[in-house]
């Protein structure tokens, strides 16, 4: 398994007059994130700005990452847009990641 750093940003369906949690489909998106986190796919997830987010994922390959991210309801509705998927080498803190539940 490898780690990947993923950056998403708001897509064409994003409503800039609403907060992140007030966007259409928030409950479905949150359930998707929580479900993948409980499986261990998402290691760390959080916003970088009001319209951009960083996800650290653990997967076999970039192709698996892209396929799993395509399942997100916000990706299907174009509320989010995938910016990048990059392999991420952990140099400090591997022990903490290995010992975290999930």
What pairs with residue 42 in β-bridges? 57
14-60: pLDDT as tens digits: 999 999 999 999 999 999 999 999 999 999 999 999 999 999 999 99
Comparing 98 with 75, the larger pLDDT belongs to 75
Three-state DSSP class for residue 6: strand
pLDDT of residue 98 exceeding 90 = no
pLDDT band at 101 (very low <50, low <70, confident <90, very high): low
> For the CA atoms of the chain, what is the radius of gyration?
14
The average confidence (pLDDT) of the chain is 93
The residue range of the domain holding 40 is 2-99
pLDDT band at 95 (very low <50, low <70, confident <90, very high): confident
* Cβ contacts of 57 within 8 Å, gap of 6 or more: 3, 4, 6, 41, 42, 43, 65, 68
Count of the separate structural domains present in the chain: 1
Q: Are 87 and 64 in contact (CB under 8 A)?
A: no
Domain CATH number, residue 83: 3.30.70.1060
Three-state DSSP class for residue 77: coil
Give the pLDDT confidence score for residue 93 in this predicted structure.
Answer: 81
Report the distance separating Cα 28 and Cα 26, nearest Å: 6
pTM of the model: 0.89
- Element (DSSP H or E) covering residue 87: strand 80-88
């Amino acid at each position: 398994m490898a780690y990947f750093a993923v950056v998403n940003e708001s897509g064409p369906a994003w409503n800039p007059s609403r907060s992140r949690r007030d966007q259409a489909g928030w409950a479905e998106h949150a359930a998707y994130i929580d479900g993948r986190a409980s499986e261990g796919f998402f290691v760390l997830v959080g916003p970088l700005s009001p319209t951009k987010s960083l996800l650290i994922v653990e997967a076999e390959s970039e192709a698996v990452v892209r396929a799993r991210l395509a399942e997100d309801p916000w990706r299907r509705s174009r509320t989010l847009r995938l910016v990048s998927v990059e392999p991420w080498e952990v140099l400090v803190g591997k022990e903490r990641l290995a010992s975290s539940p999930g």
